[in-house]
Amino acid sequence: MTLAAPQHPLRPVLAGEIHARPSAPLTAPVAISRLAMFGATDRRAQAEHLAILCRLNGVPVPDPAASYAFADLGAFRLRWERHTEFLGLTFFAPLLPGPDPFERPAISLVPAGWLADLPGEAIAASHIALLPDAEAETALPRIGFAGESLAASAAGAARIWTDFRVHADGFGRILVGVGDLQPSQAGRIAQILWEIETYRMLALLALPAARAATPDLAEASARLDQLADSVSTLEGLDAERAALEDLSALAARIERAAAATGDRFSAARAYHGLVQRRLAELEETPLPALPTLSTFLSRRLDPAMATIEATGARIGALSVRCARAVDLLRTRVALAQEAKSEELLSALAETGRSQLKLQQTVEGLSVAAISYYLISLFGYAAKPLPWDGLGTTAEAALALAVPVVAAAVWVVIRRSRGLR
């Protein structure tokens, strides 16, 4: 009976993700060459480059949208895989008999012109030779491993030797004696080893950025201490504003450092975690007189990751400290500006009161002057009139008219100014 319930549209993709990059069964003796091309971001160019190699060898071209492909190209086989930051290419070929298993690596069978046009830049490159145990023991002294850097482990029935160095041909070298491993187990061991080599290089990619940021961070920290100490001695709004501008510029500088390193540091942590998980999958046991791969890498890789982590933490701490100092000084400037504003408002209020008093005085004088003028005109008109018949005099009539005229003038002036 098939599933009748509605399914999430991403279910097939998510279910297939666990099977997306299977290990290839390998039967010793086999030569493996691994390249990790960093910065290859143009997916169309990646697919077209793979298609060129397939056409040269007369094999079907993989789907351009695929993130993984495995092709048998006759003389060698190719495992092609897209990752977030790099393009992985792994070449497999039968290992020809000879004293040095790395003399004729699998990549020597790949067209040189095609390799030269690979997108991106090689961040990791290694040869892995899988041999029966007896042949691996015989070949070990002839490989040219650096004795002081040689690490070795037993991983189940397999034995692994590497010096984690880049040799004259630009590749690292890993020798594996497969013991009685089944082809699927040998393939899995090889995949773990090339992933360790790839991920450790990608994790270390953040180390130069951490080292480059250290002097700038030391200078920024000293400058922040200097500005923080000077805040308490600042006098005047102009000095506080100047200090705030300096702090804001320093905060922007720290944020630029965080933006420049944040993604790389986060990626380094993720890759380091993958290295540790792959080492744990090997379930190593030591071989006599040699450090295991985990021990060797922990002595070299862990200090580098500690530097990266410390630098990231320092950038974060500086950012928080600087933001706090900016907030405190901004609050201080705001308070000073409020005090200035209050003083200005008080001065404006006092000016307004003075203007009101002056206006009231002018209004009083205006009422008096206009009233005097109107009364004078009324007097000229009233004096010739016969006031005796009315039982009064012109002077008395003028005296009675003064308050009436003054009140009328006052009302008219108030109304003309929009006052009530």
pLDDT in tens, 62-104: 988 888 899 999 899 999 999 989 999 999 999 988 888 999 9
Q: Is residue 177 located within the same domain as residue 240?
A: no
Give the pLDDT band of residue 404 (cuts 50, 70, 90).
confident
Q: Is residue 93 located within the same domain as residue 220?
A: no
In a domain, 3, yes or no: no
**Which pTM does this prediction carry?**
0.76
Q: Is residue 111 located within the same domain as residue 252?
A: no
Instruction: Give the per-residue pLDDT at 242.
Output: 75
Give the pLDDT band of residue 141 (cuts 50, 70, 90).
confident
How many domains, the chain?
3
Residues 102-117 as b or e (16 or more Cβ within 10 Å = b):
beebbbbbbeeeeeee
Q: Which residue has the tokens 């069978």?
A: 109
18 or 197, greater pLDDT: 197
Among residues 233, 239, 253, 231, the alpha carbon closest in space to that of 327 is found at 231
**Mean pLDDT rounded to a whole number for the chain:** 83
In a domain, 10, yes or no: no
Cα angle: 84, vertex 151, 107; to 5 degrees: 50
pLDDT in tens, 389-401: 666 676 676 676 6
In a domain, 9, yes or no: no
Q: Is residue 108 located within the same domain as residue 160?
A: yes
Q: Which residue has the tokens 């997108």?
A: 119
45 or 378, greater pLDDT: 45
Q: Is residue 213 located within the same domain as residue 140?
A: no
> Can you tell me the mean pLDDT for 261-277?
93
pLDDT in tens, 144-170: 888 788 999 999 899 999 999 999 999
User: Does position 132 have pLDDT exceeding 80, yes or no?
Assistant: yes
User: Does position 420 have pLDDT exceeding 90, yes or no?
Assistant: no
Which of 150, 168, 194 terminates a domain? The answer is 194
Q: Is residue 234 located within the same domain as residue 375?
A: no
Q: Compute the Cα dihedral for 350, 356, 361, 366 and give only its sign.
A: positive
In a domain, 279, yes or no: yes
Among residues 298, 294, 301, 28, the alpha carbon closest in space to that of 155 is found at 294
Instruction: Give the per-residue pLDDT at 411.
Output: 74
User: Does position 38 have pLDDT exceeding 80, yes or no?
Assistant: yes
Q: Is residue 43 located within the same domain as residue 179?
A: yes
Domain hosting 380: range is 350-416
Which of 289, 311, 343 terminates a domain? The answer is 343
Q: Is residue 215 located within the same domain as residue 120?
A: no
Instruction: Give the per-residue pLDDT at 70.
Output: 92
> Can you tell me the mean pLDDT for 309-337?
78
> Can you tell me the mean pLDDT for 371-377?
69
Which of 194, 226, 243 terminates a domain? The answer is 194
